[in-house]
Structure 1
Amino acid sequence: MSYPVFAVTVDLVVLTVREGGLHVLLVRRGCEPYLGQWALPGGFVHADEDLAAAARRELAEETGLAEPGGHLEQLASYGAPARDPRGRVVTVAYLALLPDLPAPMAGTDAAAAAWQPVGRQSLAFDHDRILADGVERARSKLEYTPLATAFCPPEFTIAALRTVYEAVWGEAPDPRNFHRKATSAPGFVEPTGRSTEGEPGRPAKLYRRGDAALLNPPILRRRLDVDAAAPT
């Protein structure tokens, strides 16, 4: 019996918050196909490695970001027959949420690597769709899980945490309501007992991530709050 031959790749949607906005890590392709175009970092899976290991290796090889911390999860698989002009290629996409990091360094087959604001570029292959799926996954995760803290340093203020929600959602939560929800959700954040120092204005309390896996109650986007309040 013969079996169809196809290759497997991994692609990474790596998101961070920089200068108050949501940014994605992109590489400029240094080889065909799509020479010179921006794309998500990724590459072919080796025969002797699993998918998560391939994702971490490609991130390090193409951008120099080795074991950067944060959150990494499998996003989805993409296998349209014509998605790659080199042949039949199925890709498994990963989503990484990271705190702000230094500028990446391009390597292997990438001509350049950079953090870029989400939504300002057209990407190679089907990476526009993969990026859109990754951003929506991140937006949903912030409603029901404490993963917004993956964008933050180990200690952070509630105002900094609110900035993450604003950047990822594209809308600004009400500061007073957000503070109440964030500090009252069991296991979301916990105080460190320390405050900011050396900054203008009143010192702000510092928090760290708690031990909750889910937020109960969730912190919903405004459109979902409106939908939930609508009569049925």
Structure 2
Amino acid sequence: MAKYSNVKPILIAVDCIIFGYDGEHLKLLLVKRAIEPEKDKWSLMGGFVGDDENLDGAAKRILLELTGLHDVYLEQLHAYGNPDRDPIERTVSVAYFALIDINKYSKQINDQYHAEWFKLKEIPKLIFDHDKMVKAAMDKIRYQAALHPILFELLPKKFTIPQLQALYEQVYDSPIDNRNFIRKITASGLLIKQTEKDKSNSRRGAFYFKLDKQKHKAQFQSFLNLTAKSK
């Protein structure tokens, strides 16, 4: 087999930035690194790309190994290739971010990796350049959420308007005017009102809504900017 001469091979890895929402808090899923250096320090879930895998395939495999999930929102973010980013060997990492519903899949988290959910404001120091990856993912999610309804990927099948608003406020780290938010989300036509209420926080309760999946799919490329002029 022919090989390129005078070229040192470089390892290719994939790191998955996994976000979840429990109805109150936006969270990040982290694992403890199993090997030195930085053993037992908090890390994103990652792994090397196999000989028979493409990048997307490796990311889906890693996500499946950790959470038991497939067919979730998964998007390639950025490639990180500083020569000294991994102290063991020269490694280029391609980062992906995933959005999942914690309540639906919390029991499927794989204990093998000592996985734990952290609130965004309570994330510990991460190994290597993983903090930089998380920041880039949040920047991308904020941009995407203003244009497309991607945050619905974090919600359960039925949810309340306060839960939805709280999610947007946590993503943008800023309060959103309640009346403007309700007006804009109602005008989007994406929500189907249910007859039942969530009374866990008040006797009056808040109506549940479901996402209109057909309209969600149709509007994904032309979503109303919910956050504009609503702060």
TM range, normalised to the smaller chain? 0.7 to 0.9
CA RMSD across the alignment: 2.1
TM-superposed CA distance for 1:215, in Å, is: 4.4
Aligned equivalents of 2:198 and 2:223: distance in 1?
35
Q: Select the residue among 87, 106, 110 that pairs with 2:111.
A: 106
**Please, what TM-score do these two structures have when normalized by structure 1?**
0.84
Does structure 1 residue 32 correspond to structure 2 residue 32? Answer: no
> Structure 1: where are the runs of 5+ without partners?
227-232
Alignment of 1:1-232 (within 5 A): 1-2=4-5, 3-18=7-22, 20-61=24-65, 63=66, 65-100=67-102, 101-102=105-106, 104-107=109-112, 110=113, 112-119=114-121, 120-185=123-188, 189-191=190-192, 193-197=193-197, 199=199, 200-202=203-205, 204-209=207-212, 210-211=216-217, 212-220=219-227
The 1:105/1:217 distance shift into structure 2, 3 A limit, reads closer
* Matched residue type, 2:64: A
Deviates more, 1:129-138 or 1:199-208: 199-208
- State the secondary structure of the residue aligned to 1:86: coil
Asked if 2 retains the 8 angstrom alpha-carbon contact of 1:10 and 1:91, the reply is yes
Aligned equivalents of 2:169 and 2:179: distance in 1?
14
String of CA shifts for 1:181-202, please: whole Å, max 9, x gaps: 11212x5x131x5222462315
- State the secondary structure of the residue aligned to 2:106: coil
| Aligned-pair identity (%) | 31
Aligned equivalents of 2:81 and 2:24: distance in 1?
34
Asked if 2 retains the 8 angstrom alpha-carbon contact of 1:190 and 1:208, the reply is yes
Aligned equivalents of 2:64 and 2:206: distance in 1?
38
Asked if 2 retains the 8 angstrom alpha-carbon contact of 1:169 and 1:221, the reply is no
Aligned equivalents of 1:96 and 1:90: distance in 2?
20
Aligned equivalents of 2:59 and 2:223: distance in 1?
32
TM-superposed CA distance for 1:33, in Å, is: 2.3
- State the secondary structure of the residue aligned to 1:94: strand
TM-superposed CA distance for 1:25, in Å, is: 0.5
Greater helix fraction, Structure 1 or Structure 2: 2
Asked if 1 retains the 8 angstrom alpha-carbon contact of 2:82 and 2:92, the reply is yes
Asked if 2 retains the 8 angstrom alpha-carbon contact of 1:8 and 1:89, the reply is yes
Asked if 1 retains the 8 angstrom alpha-carbon contact of 2:17 and 2:44, the reply is yes
Aligned equivalents of 1:52 and 1:45: distance in 2?
10
The 1:106/1:203 distance shift into structure 2, 3 A limit, reads closer
The 1:182/1:91 distance shift into structure 2, 3 A limit, reads same
* Matched residue type, 1:156: F
Asked if 1 retains the 8 angstrom alpha-carbon contact of 2:24 and 2:163, the reply is no
Question: Number of paired residues?
Answer: 216
| Structure-2 residue corresponding to 1:229 | none
String of CA shifts for 1:195-214, please: whole Å, max 9, x gaps: 22462315515231423113
